[in-house]
Amino acid sequence: MQIFHPSDVEKITILLVEPEGEERGKIKQLFLAQGFTVSCVETAEGALPALEKGLKESRIPDLLVVCTWLEGMSAGQLVRRLRLDSRFRSVPVLMLTEDVSSGMERDGLESGADAYISRSAHPDLLLLRIRALLQSGGERITKESVPGLRRARIVIVNPPSDESILSFWDNPQSELLDDAVDDEEDKGPGLGELLWRDGYTVTSVERSSDLIEGGWLGGSAAPDCLVLVDLGKGEHDLAFCQLLEKRRQAIQESGGTPFRILGIVKAEQFRQQSSVVFLEAGIDDLVSSDISLDVLALRIRTLAQRRMAEENFRQQEAERQKAAIAYEAARAKAEMADALERANRDLANTNTELIKTQAKLVHTAKMASLGELVAGIAHEINNPLAFTISHADTVAKNLQQLQKESLSDEVLRKLQKGSDRLKAMKIGLQRIQNLVVGLRRFSRLDETVSQKIDVPEALETTLTLLAHKLGKGIIVEEKLDAPAYLICQASLINQAVMNIISNAADAIASLSDSGHMPSGRIEIRTYLQDGFYVMSVCDDGPGLDDRVCHRIFDPFFTTKAVGEGTGLGLAIAHGVVEAHGGTIEVSSGEDCFGQQEENRKGTCFKLIIPVDETPEGLKAKGREK
């Protein structure tokens, strides 16, 4: 039977992970006979460097086929490692085993494998399973990455006039599919209730050609997985599957995300090659009716999550394109601002006051563009961060529930270890979340109106954003004696103080040898003095040369090397303080930190803002008109 098109097989590469022997030779020959490019390794440890080598040579395998009787690292451990590595996360994995127990299959699927098949299965069935994996391999996203924004929608499609199935909605505790799926112990909840308890939306309908019509299969509330019960009774079942596949193709061609299909065949028919026709008709997965309910539920969840992952990928791609357009617009604004800056420099010798005003306009445009970029980046980080945190909580709950089960000490120890690692992950996620909050606060650069500012909190945000400059060697000391709240413009901290602290860090770093971590001290103080709100930033850097002190606030004047400074930082800081009716005082020498080393004279900037007492608190007076 011709399963793969000849033009496709030359592009397909498979990595077979199995100990050397007669069985591996049979599988390899089967693949080579189809025209695949096959490479073999004997252990899971050997698969990892093989994948690394393929990555360097830009030939990552299209499929990983792993047997479950490996020595050393197990097949499940290998798959889990791949699913944690973003470079190999999209490679589909097919597990081969001699063990047909439900426990072995459950372990394989829960480790992150895409499919599981017995070595004794018919070769055509194996190849058809591989074809299905290769067709959907690009959509593969790990369960941990699937967003939890909505419930998975499962529709159970029963044979016509199956009244017993529909009784589930009258009594959700009833055992759904007791007749369609044989449960060995005939105890516990049915399939519908298993999915229902997991928070899935479960609907039961009767099979008919009318189901193919209408928009419910391709709309915004389309099902994620259809479960076709009791297939194989006649040609009408196969015709129904073929109609479903045509509808799926139409949905995909129109840009939608097609649903997945799982079929359940009577046990006696499943082991006959006649059941293969349903896979040829387009069904994604086919199981026997004597499969245990928990494994069946797991396979349904896997298909539903793959469909949800593809849907989420499409949404993210649309958002990425939208963000790219916004980025291009912001970049165009920045280029216009740079052009205006160059023009302003040409006019510097004609009108000093004019160039100062224009420099402020240039900076405002650049900061506005920067604010848009920062806000966009924060938004893009926040989306995957939100569903990652959500899934971390879900995994934590599942681990807690498993720890309550009667399990061996070894399994309980591993579960506890997983819980501990998950807690550590959540700490890291929280740090990312805090950084996103800081970016959002800093991006509000267009808010020129006065507002009540929490000065200590604003300073902490500023220091967080400058952490890459400060490193671990520069010690920042804070003595905040003034009231915590000040009514002023947010730019007073976001621009003026941030630029001064950044310059202090650069000054300290200039004293360090190349390759060594900068070390020094910065002191930030706030206090009230005779009706003025004073903020000072002092460092123990090299200090300022007297010959340049009178020029440090001039636009485009900088003492830094070419390419390291724009000369706008202190100019804008001076303009922001002036807008608040205040002044900046600069001193250098022993009065900063007392007696200094010979090359560490230090510099101190004092921002002196006149304030009034108001019912809302201290308020900057602002510049007189």
Nearest residue to 323 (alpha-carbon basis) of 315, 495, 123: 315
Query: Rounded to whole angstroms, how far apart are CA atoms 130 and 138?
Result: 14
Confidence of residue 170 (pLDDT cuts 50, 70, 90): very low
Query: Rounded to whole angstroms, how far apart are CA atoms 65 and 42?
Result: 12
More confident residue, 96 or 80: 96
The order of strands in the sheet holding 285-288 is: 201-206, 153-158, 225-231, 260-265, 285-288
**DSSP state letters, 482-514:** S-SEEEE-THIIIIIIHHHHHHHHHHHHTTSPT
CA 247 to chain centroid, in Å, comes to 32
How confident is the prediction for the chain on average, in pLDDT? 78
**218-251 per-position pLDDT tens digit:** 877 889 899 998 887 777 888 888 888 888 888 8
User: What pLDDT score does 567 carry?
Assistant: 61
170-174, 389-393, 563-567: least confidently modelled range: 170-174
User: What pLDDT score does 608 carry?
Assistant: 93
Query: Rounded to whole angstroms, how far apart are CA atoms 26 and 44?
Result: 20
The DSSP symbol for 548 reads T
State the pTM of this model: 0.35
User: What pLDDT score does 171 carry?
Assistant: 40
The DSSP symbol for 152 reads -
Long-range contacts of 282-289 (CB under 8 A, 24+ apart): 282/241, 282/242, 282/244, 282/245, 282/248, 283/228, 283/241, 284/132, 284/136, 284/260, 285/115, 285/132, 285/260, 285/261, 286/262, 287/262, 287/263, 288/264, 289/180, 289/181, 289/182, 289/230, 289/264, 289/265
Percent of the chain topping pLDDT 70: 76
User: What pLDDT score does 594 carry?
Assistant: 56
SS (H, E, C) 59-90: CCCCEEEEECCCCCCCHHHHHHHHHHCCCCCC
Phi, psi of 100 (to 5 degrees): -100, 15
Exposed/middle/buried for 129, CB within 10 Å: 0-12, 13-18, 19+?
Answer: buried
Query: Rounded to whole angstroms, how far apart are CA atoms 158 and 208?
Result: 9
Query: Rounded to whole angstroms, how far apart are CA atoms 551 and 345?
Result: 16
User: What pLDDT score does 260 carry?
Assistant: 92
**388-406 per-position pLDDT tens digit:** 888 888 888 888 888 777 7
**DSSP state letters, 128-140:** HHHHHHHHHGGG-
Query: Rounded to whole angstroms, how far apart are CA atoms 617 and 350?
Result: 44
Confidence of residue 177 (pLDDT cuts 50, 70, 90): very low
Which two three-digit tokens encode residue 542?
């090299």
> What burial letters (b/e) apply to 594-608, b meaning 16+ CB within 10 Å?
eebeeebbbbbbbbb
User: What pLDDT score does 472 carry?
Assistant: 83
**DSSP state letters, 571-597:** HHHHHHHHHTT-EEEEEESHHHHSS--
Query: Rounded to whole angstroms, how far apart are CA atoms 488 and 618?
Result: 9
User: What pLDDT score does 607 carry?
Assistant: 92
Distances in Å between the Cα of 623 and the Cα atoms of 59, 310, 620 are 65, 56, 9
β-pairing, 115-118 vs 153-158, is: unpaired
Nearest residue to 512 (alpha-carbon basis) of 561, 560, 473, 545: 473
Confidence of residue 12 (pLDDT cuts 50, 70, 90): confident
Q: In which element (H, E) is residue 318 found?
A: helix 293-346
Phi, psi of 288 (to 5 degrees): -85, 150
Judge contact between 68 and 55, C-beta under 8 A.
no
User: What pLDDT score does 394 carry?
Assistant: 84
Residue 546 has pLDDT above 90, yes or no: no
For the chain, counts of helices (H) and of strands (E): 20, 18
Q: In which element (H, E) is residue 12 found?
A: none
Tokens 């025209």 correspond to 35
User: What pLDDT score does 218 carry?
Assistant: 81
Judge contact between 592 and 538, C-beta under 8 A.
yes
Which two three-digit tokens encode residue 609?
């803002």
**300-354 per-position pLDDT tens digit:** 888 888 888 888 888 888 888 888 888 888 888 888 888 888 777 776 656 666 6
Q: Which of 20-34, 190-204, 337-351, 356-370 has the highest mean pLDDT?
A: 20-34
Query: Rounded to whole angstroms, how far apart are CA atoms 334 and 371?
Result: 11
**DSSP state letters, 416-432:** HHHHHHHHHHHHHHHHH
Q: In which element (H, E) is residue 347 found?
A: none
84-88, 408-412, 443-447, 467-471: least confidently modelled range: 443-447
Which two three-digit tokens encode residue 470?
């400060």
User: What pLDDT score does 496 carry?
Assistant: 83
Residue 620 has pLDDT above 60, yes or no: yes
**489-505 per-position pLDDT tens digit:** 877 777 788 888 988 88
- Quote the crossing angle between the two packed helices 569-579 and 498-509, to the nearest 10°: 150
Nearest residue to 306 (alpha-carbon basis) of 132, 444, 422: 132
Judge contact between 424 and 350, C-beta under 8 A.
no
Q: In which element (H, E) is residue 240 found?
A: helix 235-253
Mean pLDDT of 134-140: 58
Confidence of residue 172 (pLDDT cuts 50, 70, 90): very low
More confident residue, 344 or 482: 482
Q: In which element (H, E) is residue 267 found?
A: helix 267-270
Confidence of residue 106 (pLDDT cuts 50, 70, 90): low
The DSSP symbol for 518 reads P
Q: In which element (H, E) is residue 158 found?
A: strand 153-158
User: What pLDDT score does 358 carry?
Assistant: 64
